[in-house]
Amino acid sequence: MNWYDIIFYLFAALVLVSGFLVVTAKNIVHAAFYLLFTFFGVAGIYALLGADFISIVQIMVYVGGILVLILFGVMLTNKITNVDIRTGTVKVLPAAIVIGIFAGALLALMVKTGWYSNPGQIPETTLPVLGKTLITQYVLIFELLGMLLLVALIGAASIARRDKE
Amino acid sequence: MSEITLVNLSLIILLLPIIGFTVVIFFGKRFFKIFWFEIAMIGIAFVLASIILFVRLTTYVDAAPIVFQFTWINFGNLPLLGHLTIDLGVKIDNMAAIMMVVVTLISFLVHIYSLGYMKGDPRFTRYYSYLGIFSFSMLGIVLTHNLLMMYIFWELVGLSSYLLIGFWYEKKSAADAGKKAFLTNRVGDIGMFLGILILFTNYHTFTFDTIFHSIAGGHLPFDSGAWLTATGILLFMGAVGKSAQFPLHVWLPDAMEGPTPVSALIHAATMVAAGVYMIARIFPMLTADALLVIALVGGFTSFLAATIAITQNDIKKVLAYSTISQLGYMVMAMGVGAYAYGFFHLVTHAWFKALLFLGSGSVIQAMHHEQDIREMGGLRKKLPITYYTFLTATLAISGVPFFSGFLSKDGLLLGTYAFASLTGHVLIPIFGFTVVILTAFYMFRLVIITFHGEPRNIEKYNHAHESPKVMTIPLIVLAVLSFFFWYTGNPFSGESGWFISKWIHTPHSVVPDSLRFNFMRSTAEASAHLENAHEVITHSPMYMEALHHSHYPAMIISILFAGLGILLAYVIYQWKKVDPDKLAERYSWLYKFSLNKWYFDELYQATFVAGTLGLGKVLAWFDTYIVDGIVNGTAWVTRKVSEFSGLFDTYVVDGLVNFTAFFSGFVGLGLKKIQTGRVQTYVVFAVLSILILLLILRPF
Amino acid sequence: MLVVGLTHYLVLSAFLFSLGLYGIVTRKNAIMVLMGIELMLNAANINFVAFSRYGNYGIGGQLAALFVIILAAAEAAIALAIVLNIYKTFANVDVDDINNLKE
């Protein structure tokens, strides 16, 4: 057990515990805040895997963008004055059984498969390589994603807009 | 200034007008004043072009063309074609640098002039944006170093020409003229396209220099000299369309429906000269036969158009035919190998013809959009600046010494003279010298009827007044440019001037010796310096000697003929010694022939248009009776079969279908229970199916 | 067993994925369903980055993760816009009440 492992377990615990709380929390605002910790944990996991840039993007986009969006969604769709900000659940038991079986199968799959593992040298920073690859080999995808974001932006605006009566 | 700086500057020049176009076309409707942006863009482009010209003609005057190219598309290794890349690039030699200044300066002056001429037009800003896209396309043609880019920009100038001819599209004649110009140009462009395809098929490149190099190395298209000639003539077809040469000259006079400044910029000075410029670019690969075709087409065109110009009464039509005639001159000069003089005439003609058109615009505006010269007269007193500048240009185009037109015209006539003395094609100089008389005659006829004498329409005359400064200043600038001292120190010899002796060098022909004119045969010494091809003169000592011998005869004949033409015009129209109406009556068939433009429009109407319509009718008849008959017969048979089939359907098929429907409905009732409409249930089903899949596949 | 390797990351992501799935299946509120989806996307991302690290396949895995994050952002924006619209129409956002397409 070296420091790397200890940190990994800490982050993994953070991710799993807060993730569990997200899906079980009764209060939707609480769930959103637990989600914040999950995202932080995942960002830590990325950092451990040597993906520094992805880790930063995770924090910026998820925490800074998506989570805020979700909170706005909560605010706009639940009457704050109304105390009932809780959210109901349905058929917990059968769902838990099915998902449990599924998780077991997935775990067995992950553990039993003989994965090819050949960890290479982690570069000092992945940023130059990422940037170069992004505008050479993956440039088409990059441009398409730009278009997609634009479309999503316009689409979201036009869907959420109030209809002119 | 280093080469790469020049390249960067030229690319900036190329981009400025298109930026202007984009900004003005998108914001013109909301911000009216935005058209100043376009004017500023073209002004900056002109300044930069002048810098390039200055550097090119001082530091680099004898240097090789500056070429900058990059790979646009890399196809990699293709079957049959091998390694294929498509390069784009620019080539800046003296010719391109000069052309850049010509285009940007005339464009700039037209931008300024239009401030006055187009004042109050409802689509004012759109007009400026069109001017921007035109300047962009024209500069592209000038700068390109390959045929592909040239073709792209070639079509772009065609488009901008179409937009500007039809600018006042509410007038049916303007809209029709735009269509006519566009379609007529297409005919020529098809030839050019085929020529480009032939070259690409054989050399797998569009770049001029690479193609020339391959030809010089003995690699002919399809290994045959005839194909090389054919390629040259096909490419020349593009020039025939764009430069309005016979037989595709019919569009240019109609193009005068566009605003007059546009006629000056596009249909006189720059775009129509693009054809000549293109011939200059492909000049090294033209064979003797191709050159002869070019010379004959050019010569005939200049003669044809000059004879028509004599009798026209619309001030812009006269100038339009004069333009065709002068373009014919340039093409002819290229054809007889007087390359430098052809280009020289292109440049000088650009100035004075732009001036003539802008001057006519000034007259037209003063006369409240009256274009018929029979309504004018005596305008000299009312429009002094317009008159004197117009007169300068007239003297220049008529070939009077001390003006630029004399130098270039004399030079190219000299070329035809020498050509005829070496090859015996006397028809070409005969065309050339006849046109000198005709040109001087019709131009002075125009000046005398319009500006001299007594006013014919007193009411319009009284309302006429000189144009505002924004219109007269461009006229004065162009008039100054029409004098000789820009090109040579000796007003009687263009040859000794710096334009011919220092700036423009005839490129070395790359055609095999057997396909050249005798007098163009290369010497062994010349071939050895193929890398410096731009420095080597195409012509053998024999040609130079012939040129030298022709110098004085050609000059004297040309001055005499010009004087004769001017004198005739004065005798008939100024002093009225001969009544032109009686003359027209006596030779009425000649007069009508000329007035009706040799009946070309009628001829084309009767042949091509009627032919197409007739073909259409035949096809329609075929459709109605034969094809429809077959179809109807088939329909009848089908109907009979259907009737039988219908019976079968009603009882057997329908029964089956109804049963199926009933069965589906029954099953659906049961399955409906699963379709809960709740997303979660579906997710659970999806998870279950994944589990089942895992069970079946057993990957672990 | 305790020394962290590829398998540890995969197990972590498997757990996270299952948690997300559980969230999607059990919660009524559309926004909660959305959160579950985000968890699943994160789990997939961990796999991408882990394989990129341990498989020595170069940078492709990280780029895929990056693209997923971008898509998630677009998806969240659109989904929330839809949720707002649903809220306007039905005055609540419980997914099991929104089954008008059933009939």
Q: What is the DSSP letter of B82?
A: E
Q: Which helix (H) or strand (E) holds A156?
A: helix A139-160
Nearest to C15 among A16, A58, A134 (CB): A16
Cβ-Cβ contacts under 8 Å, C101 against chain B: 677
The residues, ordered by sequence, that sit 6+ positions from B146 with a Cβ below 8 Å of its Cβ are B69, B87, B88, B89, B205, B206, B207, B208
Kindly state whether residues A11 and A60 are assigned to the same domain: yes
Nearest chain B residue (CA) to C97: B678
Q: For chain B, list the contacting chains (3+ Cβ pairs, <8 Å).
A: A, C
Q: How confident is the model at residue B529 (pLDDT cuts 50, 70, 90)?
A: very low
The shortest CB-CB distance from B691 to any of A95, A101, A113 is to A101
- Return the amino acid letter for C8: H
Task: Output the CA torsion sign for B201, B207, B208, B213.
Answer: negative
Phi, psi of B511 (to 5 degrees): -70, 145
SS3 A26: coil
Instruction: Mark whether A47 and A93 lie in a shared domain.
Output: yes
A110 shares contact with chain B (CB less than 8 Å): no
Task: For A45-55, give one letter per residue: b (16+ CB within 10 A) or e.
Answer: bbbbbbbbbbb
Q: What is the pLDDT of residue B535?
A: 38
Query: Do A40 and A1 share a domain, yes or no?
Result: yes
DSSP state at residue B65: P
Yes or no, beta carbons of A99 and B687 under 8 Å apart: yes
User: What confidence category does residue B521 fall into, taking pLDDT thresholds of 50, 70 and 90?
Assistant: low
Q: What is the pLDDT of residue A85?
A: 47
Strand, helix or coil at A100? helix
Cα–Cα distances in angstroms (integers) from residue B57 to residues B45, B92, B122, in the given order: 18, 11, 43
Residue B284 exposure: Cα atoms within 13 Å on the Cβ side: 23
The single-letter DSSP state of residue B73 is: E
Phi/psi-derived region of residue A2, left when phi > 0, alpha when psi is between -120 and 50, beta in every other case: beta
pLDDT of B526 reads 47
pLDDT at site B531: 45
Residue A117 belongs to a domain: no
pLDDT at B550 over 60: yes
- What pLDDT was estimated at residue B482? 87
Residue type, A68: V
Q: Which domains, and CATH codes, for chain C?
A: 6-90 (1.10.287.3510)
Residues A16, B204: Cα–Cα separation, whole Å:
62
Mean pLDDT, residues B166-194 taken together: 89
Residue-wise pLDDT for B91-112, tens only, equals 988 889 999 999 999 999 999 9
Distance of residue A105 Cα from the nearest chain B Cα, in angstroms: 8
Domain boundary among A66, A84, A108: A108
pLDDT score recorded for residue B196: 92
The answer to whether residue A165 sits within a structural domain is yes
- Residue-wise pLDDT tens digits, B439-485: 998 899 888 888 888 888 787 778 888 888 888 888 899 898 888 88
Residue B516 contacts residue B287 (beta carbons within 8 Å): yes
Instruction: Confirm if B13 and B52 have CB atoms less than 8 A apart.
Output: yes
User: Would residue A119 count as lying in a domain?
Assistant: no
Average pLDDT, chain B: 84
Tens digit of each residue's pLDDT (9 = 90 or more) over C61-96:
889 999 999 999 888 888 888 888 877 777 766 666
Co-location of A133 and A83 in the same domain: no
Q: What is the mean pLDDT of residues B678-700?
A: 80
Are residues A22 and A88 part of one domain?
A: yes
pLDDT tens-digit map of A64-100: 888 888 888 888 776 544 444 455 566 678 788 888 8
Strands B66-78, B82-92: pairing is antiparallel
Banded pLDDT at B417 (limits 50, 70, 90): confident
Q: How far is C38 from chain B (nearest CA, A)?
A: 15
Residue among B680, B694, B700 whose CB faces A113 most closely: B700
Q: What is the rounded distance in angstroms from the CA atom of residue B97 to the CA atom of residue B461?
A: 44
CA-to-CA distance for B525 and B523, rounded, in angstroms? 5
- Residues counted in chain B: 700
Range of the domain at A63: 1-108
Question: Looking at chain A, how many residues does it have?
Answer: 165
Q: Which residues of chain A have pLDDT under 70?
A: 1, 78-91, 120, 162-165
For residue B605, give the DSSP letter: I
Residues B363 and B475: their CA atoms lie apart, in Å, by 12
CB-nearest to B687 from A90, A98, A112 is A98
Work out the average pLDDT over B392-414. 87
Rounded-to-integer distance, Cα B427 and Cα B336, Å: 12
Q: How far apart are CA B543 and CA B506, in angstroms?
A: 13
C24–chain B nearest CA distance, Å = 7
* C40 reaches A (C-beta below 8 A): no
Do A147 and A79 sit in the same domain of this protein?
no
Restricting to C residues 48-77, those with a Cβ less than 8 Å away from any Cβ of A are 49-50, 52-56, 59-60, 62-63, 65-67, 69-77
Distance from CA of C85 to the nearest CA of B (A): 18
Question: How deeply is B559 buried, as exposed, middle or buried, from its count of CB atoms within 10 A (0-12, 13-18, 19+)?
Answer: middle
Q: Looking at residue B520, what is its pLDDT?
A: 66
Q: Taking the alpha carbons of C63, C64, C65, C70 in that order, is the dihedral positive or negative?
A: positive
Same domain, yes or no: A43 and A100:
yes
Residue of C nearest to A93 (CA): C26
Interchain pair A8, C8: CB under 8 A: yes
Q: Same domain for A88 and A30?
A: yes
pTM of the model: 0.66
Task: Indicate the residue of B675, B678, B684 with minimum beta-carbon distance to C95.
Answer: B678
Residue A80: its pLDDT value, please? 47
Is residue B558 a contact partner of residue B433, using CB atoms and an 8 Å limit? yes
- Let me know whether A49 and A5 are in one domain: yes
| In contact, C4 and C37? CB cutoff 8 Å | no
Q: What is the predicted pLDDT for the residue at B271? A: 87
Residue A52 lies in a domain: yes
Assign B372 to helix, strand or coil.
strand
Q: Quick one: pLDDT at residue A88?
A: 56
**Residue B266: pLDDT above 90?**
no
The answer as to whether A85 is a domain residue is yes
Contacts of A109 in chain B (CB under 8 A): 694, 699-700
Structural domain includes residue A48: yes
Q: Convert the pLDDT of each residue in B193-252 to its tens digit.
A: 999 999 988 888 888 888 888 888 888 888 888 888 999 999 999 999 898 888 888 888
Asked whether residue A17 falls in the same domain as residue A76, the answer is: yes
Question: Which has the closest alpha carbon to C73: A159, A47, A153, A71?
Answer: A153
Please, which chains are in contact with C (at least 3 CB pairs closer than 8 A)? A, B
Answer yes or no: is A113 within a domain: no
**pLDDT number for residue C1:** 55
The two structure tokens encoding residue B122: 């409802």
Q: Residue B399: which region, alpha, beta or left (left: phi > 0; alpha: psi -120 to 50)? A: left
| One domain, residues A94 and A22 | yes
| Buried residues in B368-380 as b, exposed as e (16+ CB within 10 A) | eebbebebbbbbb
- Tell me which residue of A79, A164, A162, B678 sits closest to C89, measured CA to CA: A162
State the DSSP code for B284.
G
A105 closest CB neighbour out of B680, B684, B694: B694
Position B380 scores a pLDDT of 82
A1 and A75 inside one domain: yes
B680: distance to nearest CA of chain C, Å? Answer: 5
Cβ-defined contact of B687 to A102 (cutoff 8 Å): yes
| Nearest-by-CA chain B residue for C99 | B677
Q: Are A143 and C76 in contact (CB under 8 A)?
A: no
Contacts of B50 (CB under 8 A, 6+ apart): B101
At residue B383, does pLDDT exceed 70? yes
Lowest mean pLDDT among B39-48, B158-167, B658-667: B658-667
pLDDT digits (tens, 9 = 90+) for B586-604: 777 777 777 777 777 777 7
Q: Is residue A116 part of a domain?
A: no
Q: Which residue of A has its CA nearest to B690?
A: A102
* Domain count across chain A: 2
Contact status, residue A53 vs residue A126, Cβ threshold 8 Å: yes
Cβ of residue A134 closer than 8 Å to a chain C Cβ: yes
- Give me the residue label for tokens 């009882």: B651
pLDDT number for residue A162: 65
**Does the distance separating the beta carbons of C102 and B676 come in below 8 Å?**
yes
List the CATH number of the domain containing A60: 1.20.120.1200
Chain B residues with CB inside 8 Å of A90's CB?
Answer: 680
Question: What are the chain B neighbours of C98 within 8 Å (beta carbons)?
Answer: 677
Backbone angles phi, psi at A160, to 5 degrees: -80, -15
